[in-house]
Structure 1
Amino acid sequence: MYREESLTAKRARAIIIAAFPEFRGARMELLDEGWDFQVFEVDAGWLFRFPKREASVAKLNMERKLLSGLGEWVSLPVPSYEYFFESHESSIRPFAGYRKLPGTGGDTSKMVDRHRVAQQLGVFLTRLHTYPVDKAREASVPEARDLVAHWRDKSHEQMRRLNGLNVNLGLLRRYLENDTPVSFQGSPSLVHNDLWAEHILIDTCSGGVSGVIDWGDAVIGDPAIDFACLYTWYGKSWLENVLAHYRGKLDAEVISRSRYLATCVAIHCITLGRDLGRAQWVEAGYAALEYVLAT
């Protein structure tokens, strides 16, 4: 129903103005583009997300519904959509916009106060992981029961494409094959599921977290996937600092699962970065592998 395509800034501008004439005369530019979405910045104060494929449309609808209730529950700012366009009589895919949150991505910020951020994220994830699962299901958040198995299988497929990088592939393969942790047996929680540093906004003055963005991959599943993404940022010791401020239930294998999942998502980050020409994703994935293999 919806073709896979990307928009030029000129085309996106015409679409936004046709749907919301109040933005006529506003300055617009492409801010970012990933696998699922293009993001256009409007007058330096609004972000409009355009899905690139049919599955991405479903993610956008889920994200809007989820964040409408989640914002009042969690301890850090999240996007609040104020604009949404959908027309069954038009070939234009649904798109939505929200006020831009302040700060820069943690992957590029030079101002990260690691201790403060660890404390903030520990509290934030406590709230996120205790969000009522029934409400998440009402927002059409999908279930992901066995993330360890999912990422293990994906990593085995993607390992073939890591040739040419300065990575000990033999060590990596042995770890993935021989050290697979037991899958999560606890009650599933709402998880962000893509909590890389670039999705954690850092205040340029305080060095603390000013917001958490990009919720299109949220699922109901193992909380360790969120800890895994934090593992990729500053490693095991920093994750343990985060967990010192976490008040949710933690099982005995959470660190080992987090490390294993961190390895898998790092491999995915490298391969996806190569596919999309995103050098910073490749670099982030490679840095993450250095953390997990050094443990």
Structure 2
Amino acid sequence: MRSDEASRFLAELGIADDSVTPITGGWASWTFATGSGRILRVARNPEIDAAHRRESRLLPELAEAVSFAVPAPTHFGVHKGMTYMVYPRLPGRGLEPGDRVRAVAPMLAELHAFPVDRAAELLGCAVTAEAWRDDYLEIGKWVEGEVLPVLDGELRDRVRREYDATLPDLAAISPALIHRDLGCEHILTDPETGMPTGIIDFETATVGDPAIDYVGLLVTFGEQVTRELIAASGSEISWRLVRFYHWLGAAHAVKYGLAERDDAIVADGIEGLRRRLPG
């Protein structure tokens, strides 16, 4: 979608705006910022179309339940076969080193405390630890079939050993509403004060293990700060599972690099596995 198309579409919705600027870098949606302080997102494919539908059900209730800002759609519907949503643009930039990162702990505690049965109803997903474990049984199939063949024997054995050893832990989690893609770029922060103010981009939100929402913090701030945040949250978070999701992110990078035929991404993912795997 081009900016002029987005502008015409917004006018059809009764949102006249003389400035519509594309936000680049996202693969999931065509995203535009308007001069009047709104965001327009239009799904690029059926998978994201379904994600938008889930967000449209979750976000209004989540916005009422938490003290921090989340995007609350003012317009939602279908445009040329794909879902769209419009919501006020939330102020701030992504969380960075030097910001007041410890304020993230109560935000995550609030997110994970959202009533889990209601989250599952809104998102149309299962609410059991077994269902979460089963997701990783499926992930394990592409790890085995796509990632392991490009690793050397020693690294291949480490991946298999850690994956197999972690599966029982995945079946013992306490399910909660999770963001599941909580990189620090999705934690909005006041640039003047460094105080986190909101969380955005809930396309992958689901019910699962809250440990996964600490991985982005681990990547940016390291182990000590992340452990302190977990302790401050008052939640029972498995450090072993935080590390599992962390190294599995490198396996995702290998898979993506192979799909894109990008040797540099594959090599970076393999090096990430070497650094992140225990042992």
Structure 1 residue 200 displacement after superposition? 1.5
Q: Residue 137 of structure 2 corresponds to which residue in structure 1? A: 149
1:101 and 2:85 matched? no
Residue 23 of structure 2 aligns to a residue whose secondary structure is strand
Normalising by structure 1, we get a TM-score of 0.77
- Tell me the SS of whatever aligns to 1:207: coil
Letter of the structure 1 residue corresponding to residue 249 of structure 2: V
Q: Give deviations 1:23-48, integer Å, cap 9, x for gaps.
A: 2x421121034332121111161111
Cross-structure match for 2:240: 256
Q: 1:38 to 1:174 in 2, by over 3 A?
A: farther
Instruction: State yes or no: 1:113 paired with 2:98.
Output: yes
2:147 paired residue number: 159
Structure 2: segments with no counterpart, 5+ residues? none
1:75–1:123 CA contact under 8 A, matched in 2: no
Pair 1:26 & 2:18 matched: yes
Q: Helix, strand or coil for the counterpart of 1:126?
A: helix
Q: Distance in 2 between matches of 1:100 and 1:66?
A: 18
**C-alpha RMSD over aligned residues:** 3.2
Q: 2:7 aligns with which of 13, 20, 45?
A: 13
Asked if structure 2 preserves the Cα contact closer than 8 Å seen for 1:193 and 1:218, the reply is yes
Match of 2:69 among 77, 92, 95: 77
Secondary structure of the residue that 1:59 maps to in structure 2? Answer: helix
- Kept after mapping to 1: 8 A contact 2:187/2:198: yes
Question: In the aligned structure 2, how far is the partner of 1:126 from the partner of 1:273?
Answer: 34
Task: Quote the offset at 1:170 in angstroms.
Answer: 5.7
2:194 is aligned with 1:207:
yes
What percentage of residue pairs aligned between the two structures are identical? 26
Q: Provide closer, same or farther for how the CA distance between residues 274 and 230 of structure 1 changes in structure 2, counting only shifts above 3 A.
A: farther
Q: TM-score, normalised by structure 2?
A: 0.81
What count of residue pairs does the alignment treat as equivalent? 268
Matching residue's letter, 1:217: T
* 1:220 aligned onto 2:198: no
Aligned partner of residue 65 in structure 2, secondary structure: coil
Corresponding position of 1:239? 226
Q: Is the 8 A contact 1:33 1:39 kept in 2?
A: no
1:194 pairs with 2:194: no
Retained in 2: the 8 A contact 1:46–1:99? Answer: yes
Q: Deviations over 1:232-267 (max 9, x none)?
A: 2223222101112112234xxx11111111111233
Query: Which AA in structure 2 matches 1:238?
Result: V
Find the aligned partners of 1:283 and 1:30 in 2 and give their Cα distance: 31
Residue-by-residue CA offset, 1:191-235 (whole Å, 9 max, x unaligned): 111111221222211122122111010111112221233322223
Specify which structure has the higher proportion of helix: 2
